[in-house]
């Protein structure tokens, strides 16, 4: 039943791991709690909205991965 919200929470968590952590420890804790909050919130949202959020997260992960690889390749040269 709740596959999409769980996938959304996992993709949101993975997306946050790709970004550098904030300097403020309180902000870091809040950011780490957001996937849990959003997963609970999205459990009863329409599936179209959750699907949109999942696709957006996956595209953002791919974009961040490509940018990070290109920056790292540019630094090594």
35 is in which domain, residue-wise?
3-76
What does the mean pLDDT of the chain come to?
A: 91
> Residues 4, 51: contact at Cβ < 8 Å?
yes
Q: How distant, in Å, are the alpha carbons of 25, 41, 55 from that of 49?
A: 31, 12, 10
- 53, HSE (Cβ side, Cα atoms, 13 Å): 22
Give the confidence band of 47 by pLDDT, cuts at 50, 70, 90. very high
Read off the tokens for 25.
Answer: 């420890």
Give me the mean pLDDT over the 32-49 stretch.
Answer: 94
User: Is residue 75 pLDDT above 80, yes or no?
Assistant: no
- The predicted model scores a pTM of 0.81
Query: Does the pLDDT at position 50 exceed 70?
Result: yes
Question: What's the total number of domains in the chain?
Answer: 1
- The per-residue pLDDT for 77 is 56
Is residue 42 within 8 A of residue 2, CB to CB? The reply is no
pLDDT at 6 (0 to 100) = 95
The residue count of the chain comes to: 77
């Amino acid at each position: 039943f709740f596959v999409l919200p769980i996938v959304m929470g996992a993709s949101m968590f993975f997306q946050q791991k790709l970004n550098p952590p904030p300097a403020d420890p309180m902000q870091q804790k809040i950011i780490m709690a957001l996937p849990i909050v959003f997963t609970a919130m999205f459990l009863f949202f329409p599936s179209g909205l959750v699907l949109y959020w999942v696709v957006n997260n996956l595209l953002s992960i791919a974009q961040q991965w490509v940018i990070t690889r290109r920056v790292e390749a540019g630094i090594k040269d």
